[in-house]
Structure 1
Amino acid sequence: MAEKQSTLAQVKDQHVTAILVTHNGVTWLSEVVAALSSQKRLPDQIIAVDNGSIDGSVKLLSNAGIPVIKQSKSAGFGSAVAAAVAKLPIVDKQINNQENNEWLWIIHDDCAPDKLALAKLLEAVVERPQVGIAGPKILGWYDRKHILEAGISITENGTRWSGLEDREHDQGQHDEVKNVLAVSSAGMLIKRGVFEELGGFDPSLELFRDDVDLGWRANIAGHSVICVGEAILYHAQASSSERRAIDVKDAILHRPLLLDRRNAAFVLLANSSWWILPWVALQLLFTSIGRSFIYLLAKLPGYAADEIAAIGLLIFKPADLIKSRRYRKKNKVLSARVIKQFIPTRSTQLQASLERISTSISRAFKSKNAQQNPTQVKSYSDIGIIDESFDELEFVEGKSFAKIRALAKQPFLFGLLVISIFSIFYSRNRFGSLSGGALPVAPDSAMHLISNFFTSWHLVGLGSSSPTPLWVLIVGLASVITGGNPQIFINLFFFFIPLLLYVLTYRSARRFNLSNYSATFAGFIFAVSPAILTSINQGRIGTLVVAALFPILFTALYNHQQLTDLKWRKLYLVTIVAAIAAAFSPIFLLVWLGYQIYQLINQYIAAQNINSTKWEDISKILNQDEIKKRFALLITPFLINIPNSFSLLANPSAKLLEPGLSVPSGDLLSVLLFNPGGPASPNLYLLAPFVLYLFLCLVVKQQRRDTSLALILLALSVTISSFYIAGNNSNAQRVWTGTLIVIAQFILTLNIFSLAERIIPQLRTINFGYKHILSAVTALVTIFSTVAMTGWGLSIGANSLVTTDNEQVIPAFISDLATTNERPKTLVVRKNQEQLKYFITRGSDLLLGAPDVSSKTPEIIHTSIVDLFNGVGVSSSQILGFYGIQYIFMKDPADPALVRTIDGIGGFTRSSATKDGVIWKVNNAHARVSFQNMKGQHFPVNSNDISANGYVSSSGTIIIAEKFDKSWRLLLNGVAVPLEKNEFGLPVFKIAQPGEVLITHDGT
């Protein structure tokens, strides 16, 4: 009894301020005010904060004698609570326990607490000093037996989790006090000191999920959060059930589901440990896609769009998320693992889902009772999922097309919606593992790409020791975000690249001081330009990466042209981005080096004492911060791309090829019109507007400097594209200059819109003249080109070289043979457009990165293959056999004359003829590594992909059926044996005695 009296005394000692937040809630407000006034333990004061109500809420509060703080309707819930707390007197920490005895009781305008609610909450918290937040059990407003929440949590995919059964009714089963992750902000009782310590509700969460976030942060900061089951509150959930409009600033189109899903993802990404962020992000993405699909099946396209847009808002506006993660580090006391106990397990979630499905099915079979009593009034909890049109009759919008007008005020989001729809239809033939055009097949493991980067000998053709370009490693590492599967990563990259280019161009345009509308149009024009769509259709991954990274480089350097105010940390981030772009495009590296050298020379010339020959003066100039920063921009991308950058400088004309296979490019006229051309590119009559932009910007002095750079890039593009280069083990083709074109058109796009924003206001004040005509022509050409390119991409442009249904060239049994100890090779012959083409495979199609390390076929092999096709290759089988080529496969449609020719030449035995093609076995072909004894007999040596080991029983010769390379090594009983070359150009080792042999390739 004494203990109870002590508790009651402590309850009286607590100081409680009730903060009532209102927004057009007059429907429920009178009952809320009455409930507050009838509390057994009355709050010490009540402060109301109204967020722009127009329904009489303020008048009702004033009549009740409650002071009201007025805010705009776009203000968030958290800012309303913060405004009320700011009006409270500062806590005097000198007074004993004042800080621990002051509480904030947060009340919504649609929730009415039971008369014992505050008393029960205070009794629970005074008995538990470690508690920082407490909340009541929440029941429905309309069905007051329906339990809505008894503490809340969040699942790994962002779903709000209450742990309750479907439409569970209150029978006292949740009346205990229990620790939870969070409680609803409706009826939340929080210590004022804790509220101020945590910084209140996150301003990035203006409505929905702000309570989960606050509870999460409180737990991490070492404060307990409890739900007091005996404290009861009735909640109408007006906002989440769409019974009133959502007017906060972040609520795009006033859609609660969109805001709720965005905030759910935000809470997870802002509070999760950094090392699980990729996994959390993937779960959120795929869960949103799954939910949107279900909503589409349920014929709720609005909700489906909300799910996708919610993730898009976070991806393309990450600044708030980064800021919030930094802020949370300040108050973090405990490990994030303390939260794990509150997160429901997958089995728990699955069990709850199955129970809901079972309940729904059971309810469906009991529909007869509902039909017998059609006029029976249903409780609020029986309504179920509320359809989008639930309240259309009750809450009719006063203005027509309100959502369209709201969307028009958000041009970026409108453009995002349009480009997303375009990407879906444009990519309809590219869902799956992609290949075709310049894009080889991607392996199914990132480790394949990563290991290839560090391997000294590459299994492509007859082998190659060429260094793997850095971009292969970058793709392998980036594939981690797709679970280490490069196929999925490449597919997502090609799907999202128009969307990504739109967003990045928009952000750069805004930094270029363009208006919201101009930046939106600029982003869309760039994303659907001929150069971009051609690059996608032809699989030009290098050009697409440069197109995505150049807006970042342009923005960073354009705002710091003198480099004096560019911090070293940011400068090195810029150099890393430039190095990544250079790894994907040698042409970009050359242009980058040339531009930085030009700027470096200009800065040196502009320095004082330029004519002095004294070392002190020269050293002083070179030590200037701007000179050093410019030199870092010059040298760092070059160093990161060693040794490929050295090869580029040593032989530029032979190293200008983009990653992947060789694909024909367009002629000079096509390049001049900003259309790289080639197969699957738009026709020239779909004129790109960039030539007109170039002419107009050159005329205007303010745009001339940037436009001159674009003109130089275009001239360089036309010049380089006139060269024919044979590379990547393919025939000579025009050099692809799409990289230079996309850079030039990006610069022109920003400058033409900058010119337009300056000219258009002038047109309204001057007489009609040439400026009006040129402006009209430019607008018409831009509109025609953009609409035409969009239409082309949605129609025939979707039939690209890059598809998911490319057939496998190599038959399965040849692929299986390639894994045996002999490691045989196969000569594949194809007839394409009256041309015979061949390549040598080791059992699989060319994989990503393989063409970039391939080397020229030895002349002796090329000659023997040509002689074979011409019917004069008497020694062809012997030469091919020595190089380990054990099979010839002619892909259907096979040339009958060539088939007869090979059948008639000795040394080849037809193995089979199927629907896939014709296969011959090369007689007496050798294994990849073989031992020839003194009698001339050949024996295979056990071999893996590169190295080999085994026992030789006598003296003789070890023959490696690979291209000759000085890095081949052989150890006989641990002793090195000299490398030699035989008459066929193969690496051989003379064995003087029996023993164990070990063959390796030393790449050091």
Structure 2
Amino acid sequence: MSRPYVTVVVVAHDGGRWLGETLRALVSQSRRPDRVIGVDNGSRDGSADLLVQALGRGNVISLPRSAAFAESVAEALGRLPSAGPDEWIWLLHDDCAPDRWALEALLAVAGQEPKAAVVGPKLRDWLDRRRLLEVGVTVGRTGRRDTGLEPHEFDQGQHDGVREVMSVSTAGMLVRRDVWETVGGLDPFLPLFRDDLDLCWRIRNAGHKVLVTTSAVAWHAEAAARRRRRITVSGDHPRRLDRRNAIFVVMANLPFRAMLWALLRNVLGSAFRTLMFIVGKQPANALDELVAMGSVLVHPFRLVRARRARRYGRKKGYIRVKRLMTPPGAAYRRLVDMVQSFLAGGAPVDAAGRHHHAAAPSGEDEEQALVPADSGAVKRFLSRPGVVLMLALAAVSLVAERSLLLGDRLGGGALVPVTGGAGDLWAFYTEGFHDGVGLGSDAWAPPYVAVVAALSTLALGKTWLAVSVLLLGSVPLAGATAYLATRHVVPAVPARAWAAGTYALLPVATGAVAAGRLGTAVVFVLVPVYASLGTTVLSAEPRRARRAAWALGLLLAVGTAFVPLTYPMVAVLGVAALAVRRPRGAVTSVAVALLVPVALLLPWLAGLVTEPGRILREAGLHDPALVDAALGPESLLALSPGGPGLPPFWVTAGLLVTALAALLMRRQRTIVAIGWGVALYGTLVAILVSRIEIEGARAWPGVPLAFAGTGLVVLVALTAHRLTELRAGGGLRRLGATAVVAVAFSTPLLAAGWWVATGVRGPLTGDAPDVLPALAAARSQHGERTLVVKGSAFTVLHGRTPLLGEAELPVPAEAAARVATAAQGLIGGRGGDAATLAQQGIAMVAVAPPVPQGLARTLDSQPSLERLSLSEAGGLWRLAEPVTRVPVRPESVLYRPWLWAQGVMVLVMVVLAAPGRRESPQETPAEPVPVAPLLAARAS
């Protein structure tokens, strides 16, 4: 063949630590390329300067950080005219260094096989130069990537040779330019991951071959897959993006029948893997799996367009491709390996079928991303500060809540005894008329019931498990959300860990657990997320801010469903932030975040307008005994909302002292002002709330103090680096900084120690008695109701203990008044109207223990009552009057359609909130410049 013409395209993005070696390897090639062009995608580590020094300024193109690899290559080739039918393109990543003879070996194989359109090298690991990464790649019908290599397999020549493969990586790929232009190059929809598979699949469908030669070797760092650098081309998590692209590529390139079968396998497989991730305590991986599958299913027209663009040669090409795909048996073996990995407590498996030995979340220390691949999974897991913090908070919670863990039923305080399953909650939430609630009610079910029902469904129908995780696990969950939410705000890991631990152990958390306040516990976990998303809405570029706004709106709807006061508090902060800072598009994003909860909670939220006092209530029972009659100023200053289970003032005094010390730091005035502004705002709202009475009892200011605590904790964490500078100064400054640090650390340590020593002291118990006597439940027939008397109060139950949310529904005032009059007559010995009770379906009267002797004699003397039992467990009487069954009212005409509309809105908003591809306005391209041969002057 005639001498081929080779064009090299080097794409760089924050790859300065590898790019130097890559360029040196390119210069030293035994077969020099004919022209080279470099593309820098907004690097901030000097990569652009390295490209300019090596290639010359006229041979380097600058693109924004949001540019994908496909866009970079297309931009580079668009500026270079074709050199003829024998031109080849050699693609190089900034973290891929080929050996000296790589290009020569690739061209030799290309010259020997006329149908070869793509030739790839053997890839080895950048750090461990003996370990094999790829010798060609194939894929299964579920999109699972398969290299055919054993984990950590060393290169001993066992895979040497030239062979046909399904695809090769773009790191070192040599491709014919005319074929590239015929099939359209890389798909810009795939910004990262699987773009090479899609390209090779389309080239094979066009009748060409994809080969790999082990004579050509390249060392690849896999910086993006292993998260050794920040990914800016897309807002998605790498695992989520990889999985989405894998499903999309397979669905787009398979023939129709094979695509339908693969779609079914992917849906069922994703559901099973999600379940396995949840069982294996890997919620992040479960979310990635669900979002990845959902992002393909909710955009069917995008898939249809992709299939239409790939229709030529797809059916004939599938005959050639099918023999190179992963055989079906391999998928089942991988499934068995995945289950065994979970049972053995191993590392998670990513969408490529590889263990994440070297991956580390963004924001963690760099050494976390470079953990050796052969280190133990437990050691890797425990080495992360966030995990250590979570384990410590979980251990503290388990010890402190020891009295609640061995009971049969969680309940007490504001929490009704937890009974029923997910199906019961869904039935209660979706029925139009609640005939099983007391005297019956046509009011809308509290929306938090749907949230608990959804979590109970994920917990295999166990409502008690979902409630226990939300309430008893609120402390470690709050620590986790605080640690993750401050990832981009507080750069120092020790300061983040301190902030998360201090926030999680605030008196609001321990008080909510002791009093059974499920609503406050949920909002307490979500407040750090609100702060993080709100910061993104006001500071990020418009597209990212809009996605954060949808996410904030969804989570704000959840918090408002549990505690309605959450919405006005967040709304006031959002409007105040807009008044101070108004970047482009911020008004629209804030409006989205504030309108989403209104749209989702509209029917129930409208009832709060007619009864404004309900805004200060939260999920659960409203018991006056749970709130202090009057909170002193020292309690509010210590962020203590009053009630059972709260620590003394000196436990949290250290946080207040440290926050006051921050006022002396002149260089951090803005941060100090914002932190103290949020703290004072929350404290003032708490003072106002604690002075308002609802149904004879003051409201509980737990949520406002959670906002105040967030402001103080973030304020101290952001000024922690100044303390480090003062300690390094020596003298009195060092002594003062050391004292402030000691005082700051006293808050989480004292709070944890006090909680562990005293335990949960409150009305919440793990052995909550059944409200309805067992005999009454057993004798209830055909929906008969029971009048339960406790002291001077009474309630009506419908043959069972009420579910979550049922006790909060209003009952018809007229029926309630008639029953109250009849019940007071029976209890007072005035001869209550038994016929009135019978007309409301009440067949029995139960008295909660202990039963006063006078009340027992009074009920025995009533001719309309017949005693069934009387013991220390309570008393039960049956009405002699036959029960008249009240006909059930028909369901509301608008109830079920609105529930369907709510479900559709939630799905749409989840899709809008899911991180997607991040784009920024395209920069005006520079004028094309002639590209000279590679380093001609340097070579001379």
Question: TM-score band (shorter)?
Answer: 0.5 to 0.7
Contact 1:133 1:225 in 2 (8 A): no
Residues 346, 584 of structure 1: alpha-carbon distance in 2 compared, 3 angstrom cutoff: farther
Work out whether 1:687 is the aligned partner of 2:652.
Answer: yes
AA aligned opposite 2:844: Y
1:751 match: secondary structure: helix
Work out whether 1:843 is the aligned partner of 2:799.
Answer: yes
Q: Following the alignment from structure 1 to structure 2, what is the Cα–Cα distance between the partners of residues 104 and 570?
A: 35
Residues 434, 563 of structure 1: alpha-carbon distance in 2 compared, 3 angstrom cutoff: farther
Q: Which residue of 1 aligns with 2:864?
A: 907
Q: Which residue of 2 aligns with 1:674?
A: 639
AA aligned opposite 2:746: F
Alignment of 1:314-329 (within 5 A): none
AA aligned opposite 1:826: T
Work out whether 1:826 is the aligned partner of 2:786.
Answer: yes
Contact 1:674 1:741 in 2 (8 A): yes
Work out whether 1:546 is the aligned partner of 2:523.
Answer: yes
Q: Which deviates more, 566-575 or 895-904? A: 566-575
2:652 match: secondary structure: coil
Structure 2: gaps of 5 or more residues: 19-24, 39-53, 57-66, 125-129, 230-236, 252-262, 341-353, 358-366, 895-940
Work out whether 1:862 is the aligned partner of 2:820.
Answer: yes
Residues 162, 881 of structure 1: alpha-carbon distance in 2 compared, 3 angstrom cutoff: farther
1:153 pairs, out of 135, 139, 149, with 139
Q: Following the alignment from structure 1 to structure 2, what is the Cα–Cα distance between the partners of residues 237 and 892?
A: 76
Alignment of 1:474-623 (within 5 A): 490=467, 493-494=470-471, 497-498=474-475, 501-502=478-479, 504-506=481-483, 509=486, 515-554=492-531, 578=556, 580-591=558-569
Offset at 1:104?
6.3
Q: Following the alignment from structure 1 to structure 2, what is the Cα–Cα distance between the partners of residues 133 and 478?
A: 50
Q: Which residue of 2 aligns with 1:287?
A: 276
Contact 2:437 2:797 in 1 (8 A): yes
Contact 1:582 1:589 in 2 (8 A): yes
Cα-to-partner distance string for 1:749-787 (whole Å, 9 max, x where unaligned): 222344554566457659637x964x5554333212202
Q: Which deviates more, 104-113 or 497-506? A: 104-113
Q: Which residue of 2 aligns with 1:215?
A: 197
Work out whether 1:333 is the aligned partner of 2:289.
Answer: no
Q: Following the alignment from structure 1 to structure 2, what is the Cα–Cα distance between the partners of residues 88 and 595?
A: 47
Residues 104, 656 of structure 1: alpha-carbon distance in 2 compared, 3 angstrom cutoff: closer
Offset at 1:853?
1.8
Q: Which deviates more, 776-785 or 338-347? A: 338-347
Q: Which residue of 2 aligns with 1:714?
A: 683
Cα-to-partner distance string for 1:674-733 (whole Å, 9 max, x where unaligned): 12343444455533544435655678875356525533532442343245533xxxxx54
Q: Which residue of 2 aligns with 1:743?
A: 707
2:838 pairs, out of 863, 869, 881, with 881
Alignment of 1:204-243 (within 5 A): 214-215=196-197, 219=201
Offset at 1:742?
0.2
Offset at 1:314?
7.3
Contact 1:149 1:164 in 2 (8 A): no
Bigger share in helix: 2
2:712 match: secondary structure: helix
Work out whether 1:94 is the aligned partner of 2:82.
Answer: yes
1:785 pairs, out of 741, 747, 751, with 747
Q: Which residue of 1 aligns with 2:716?
A: 752
Q: Which deviates more, 487-496 or 875-884? A: 487-496
Structure 1: gaps of 5 or more residues: 1-8, 26-31, 50-66, 70-78, 139-143, 205-209, 241-245, 253-261, 293-307, 359-384, 389-398, 607-623, 727-731, 930-942, 949-964, 968-1004
Offset at 1:744?
0.9
AA aligned opposite 1:94: S
AA aligned opposite 1:862: A
2:713 match: secondary structure: helix
Contact 1:445 1:484 in 2 (8 A): yes
Residues 825, 251 of structure 1: alpha-carbon distance in 2 compared, 3 angstrom cutoff: same
Measured on the aligned residues, the alpha-carbon RMSD in Å equals 7.2
Cα-to-partner distance string for 1:147-189 (whole Å, 9 max, x where unaligned): 9988543697978585999x9xx9x999998875x56789976
2:389 pairs, out of 389, 407, 419, with 419
Work out whether 1:198 is the aligned partner of 2:186.
Answer: yes
Contact 1:416 1:499 in 2 (8 A): no
Residues 314, 823 of structure 1: alpha-carbon distance in 2 compared, 3 angstrom cutoff: closer
Contact 1:150 1:227 in 2 (8 A): no
1:522 match: secondary structure: helix
Contact 2:433 2:889 in 1 (8 A): no
Q: Following the alignment from structure 2 to structure 1, what is the Cα–Cα distance between the partners of residues 838 and 720?
A: 68
Contact 1:218 1:225 in 2 (8 A): no
Residues 226, 554 of structure 1: alpha-carbon distance in 2 compared, 3 angstrom cutoff: same
AA aligned opposite 1:215: L
Contact 2:841 2:885 in 1 (8 A): yes
Q: Following the alignment from structure 2 to structure 1, what is the Cα–Cα distance between the partners of residues 591 and 221?
A: 57
Alignment of 1:889-968 (within 5 A): 889=846, 902-911=859-868, 919-929=876-886, 946-947=889-890
Residues 455, 796 of structure 1: alpha-carbon distance in 2 compared, 3 angstrom cutoff: farther
2:242 pairs, out of 256, 267, 285, with 267
Q: Which residue of 2 aligns with 1:659?
A: 619
Q: Which residue of 1 aligns with 2:906?
A: none
Q: Following the alignment from structure 1 to structure 2, what is the Cα–Cα distance between the partners of residues 858 and 682?
A: 41
Contact 1:179 1:225 in 2 (8 A): no
AA aligned opposite 1:585: V
Residues 88, 427 of structure 1: alpha-carbon distance in 2 compared, 3 angstrom cutoff: same
Q: Following the alignment from structure 1 to structure 2, what is the Cα–Cα distance between the partners of residues 873 and 133?
A: 98
Contact 1:17 1:46 in 2 (8 A): yes
Paired residue total: 765
AA aligned opposite 2:809: V
Residues 560, 148 of structure 1: alpha-carbon distance in 2 compared, 3 angstrom cutoff: closer
| TM-score normalised by length of structure 1 | 0.56
Contact 1:482 1:489 in 2 (8 A): yes
Cα-to-partner distance string for 1:318-341 (whole Å, 9 max, x where unaligned): 99x99xx99x98998338999998
Residues 109, 176 of structure 1: alpha-carbon distance in 2 compared, 3 angstrom cutoff: closer
| TM-score normalised by length of structure 2 | 0.59
